Amino acid sequence: MALPAQSALFISRQDLVKHGFSDYEAAQLLRMAKANLVEQGLNYYAIRGRRRVPAYAIEAILGCPLFETQRDTLPSQTKERTKND
């Protein structure tokens, strides 16, 4: 399974800002994600200097994916589009 071209396994505050969040929102999302990860037993994220978290941790907070999947490249959907067009 290939990841989308822009997808990242880890995400930083700067990445969130590039996605349209303000500096404050990005920092809050990272704090919440780190707290959730520590709650799950991943004490690695309890260290204050960690500036990146797994993208899935942010997505779990937001309730939606950060990155669009490459739906246009799936063969089944391209066949359906050509039939309907």
Could you report the per-residue pLDDT of 32-83, keeping only the tens digit for each?
Answer: 999 999 999 999 999 888 899 999 999 999 998 876 654 444 454 445 555 5
Give the model's pLDDT for residue 52: 94
Provide the residue ranges of all domains of the chain, joining segments of one domain with +.
Answer: 10-84
Give the model's pLDDT for residue 60: 93
Give the model's pLDDT for residue 15: 92
Distance from C-alpha of 81 to C-alpha of 85, rounded to nearest angstrom:
6
Q: Is pTM, for the whole model, over 0.75?
A: no
Distance from C-alpha of 70 to C-alpha of 54, rounded to nearest angstrom:
20
Residue-by-residue DSSP string for 25-75: HHHHHHHHHHHHHHHTT-GGGGSTT--EEEHHHHHHHHTS-SS---GGG-H
Give 6-32 pLDDT, tens digit per residue. 446 899 999 999 989 999 999 999 999
Reading phi first (left if > 0) and then psi (alpha if -120 to 50, else beta), residue 62 is in alpha
